A = this chain, B = another copy of it.
Amino acid sequence: MNVRLDRIRLIQAALQERGWIAIVILNHDDYRYLFGTDRAQPRAIIPFQGPPELLAFSGEEPELRAALTEGEVMIFGSVGGQIHDVVGRLRELAEAAPVEWAPDGRHKVGIQQWFHTPAFLLDLFRQVNPGIEVVSSDPVMDQFRMIKEPDEIALLTEAQRIAGLGMDRARGLLRPGVTAHEIATEVTYTMMKAGADGTSTPIYVNFGIETCMLHGRLSPSPLERGELALIDLTPTVDGYCANLARTFVLGDPDERQAVLFDTYRDIVAAVRNGMKPGATVAQLDALAGDICEAHGLGDFQVYGIGHGIGLRFEEPPASTIIPPHKNLPLAEGMTVTIGHTVLAIPGFGGVRLEDVYRVGADGSDPLFEYPVDPIVAA
């Protein structure tokens, strides 16, 4: 366990600046960011001062204590024990904190509220801590997490390289009669053999009309000659997420398929050209929209052409989850995808080509170059 006290100290300074007494961590991504490892049920408190505190289940204490070079390990053997310990600890922190941090008598605690924070857990937290105001931890955490350090870029790049191996395998399997499940099985194996932890989202393998689906799945019917096949791979390495999507056609593309491919390639080129510090997803969407219009596909644009990526599969800017993020300016060191949205003609099919880029001072480069080579001999 590689506790990142450097990051924890920056976060504590930000807590003190805002007058929050703590961040309570219930999520894998923040836990890994701060403690360098993961647990099935990550639980920790970052107080505004003093050492970080891990909450251990009974039996886990010696293991966690040995791993944690500094700081306390709180122990609980049951759900009730956990709740009791956390309530008591937050009360102590509230008493130790400046009173002016709680002008209405209630101190603030930041908790992440993305897809993996269960609603019932947050409700329970509020119920047992009536004196605490829960706020989103994003304003403290995002500023650090959005800008990737070199070690993080290396892991994201490795994840993207492994996604490329998976895509090679997928492409090699495309033939009439292949099932999406067979592709998912072989691709998962290829990527895990190469070192992936697993995938951050289920593998999407969509065939034919199902390539329209904004969120994919495994198509139930086998691939047929002439159909589109959309494959979206999200392996992770030490928790860092890749995102590589390619669309293929089994045989020569027909006219509409060709238009979709040409349009998407032009979208990627235009958006990449505009992806610089200061640009926003709204601006990138406008660039994509112009391309769609020029190809006669203006009616079919879906907004949100890119999203941040790191220890979460979607991070700020994540405009399709948090609409105001469409106006968040990009900055050097962010990692952002291009190709998040499918360009689909309803009832016909859709195309998506997605890669991860690092925003540089003057422009953006893909973490890993993977070819766009859509035609597969039938």
CB distance from A276 to the nearest CB of B (A): 25
In the complex this chain forms, how many copies of it are found?
Answer: 2
Once A114-B118, A192-B188 are accepted as A-B contacts, the answer to whether A212 and B63 lie under 8 Å apart by CB is yes
A23 CB, nearest partner CB in chain B, Å? 15
Nearest to A349 among chain B residues (CB) is B59
Residue from B59, B202, B212, B303 in contact with A78 in the complex, judged by beta carbons closer than 8 Å = B303
Q: Mark A187-228, 1 if CB is under 8 A from B, else 0.
A: 011001101011001101000011011111110000000000
A337 to B212, CA, bound (A): 40
A347 at the B interface (CB under 8 A): yes
CB-based contact A215/B62 at 8 Å = no
List 21 contacting pairs A-B, 8 Å CB cutoff, sorted by A: A40-B213, A57-B215, A58-B302, A58-B346, A59-B212, A59-B213, A60-B213, A60-B346, A61-B346, A63-B209, A78-B303, A78-B320, A79-B321, A79-B323, A114-B118, A115-B118, A120-B136, A181-B197, A185-B189, A185-B192, A189-B189
Q: Does A256 contact B (CB under 8 A)?
A: no
A302 CB contact (under 8 Å) in B40, B41, B59, B346? B59
Question: Pick the contact of A59 from B41, B60, B121, B346 — CB < 8 Å?
Answer: B346
A303 to B38, CA, bound (A): 24
Q: What is the interface of chain A, defined by CB distance below 8 A to chain B?
A: 38-41, 57-63, 77-80, 113-123, 136, 181, 184-185, 188-189, 192-193, 195, 197-198, 201-202, 204, 209-210, 212-218, 300, 302-303, 320-321, 323, 342, 344, 346-347, 350
The residue from B122, B202, B346 contacting A62, defined by CB atoms under 8 A apart = B346
Cβ-defined contact, A62 with B212, below 8 A: yes
Q: Which residues of B are found within 8 Å of A80, using beta-carbon distances? A: 323
Question: Chain B residues with Cβ under 8 A from A189's Cβ?
Answer: 185, 188-189, 192
Task: Give chain B nearest CB distance to A58 CB in angstroms.
Answer: 6
Cβ contacts under 8 Å, A123 to chain B: 113, 119
The answer for the CA separation of A113 and B80 in the assembled complex, in Å, is 19
Verify B209–A60 contact, CB threshold 8 A.
Answer: no
Q: Which of A61, A120, A122, A189 has the most CB of B within 10 A?
A: A120
CA distance A50 to B171 in the complex (A): 45
The 7 tightest CB contacts between A and B, nearest first, are A40-B215, A185-B192, A62-B347, A59-B344, A119-B122, A57-B214, A189-B189
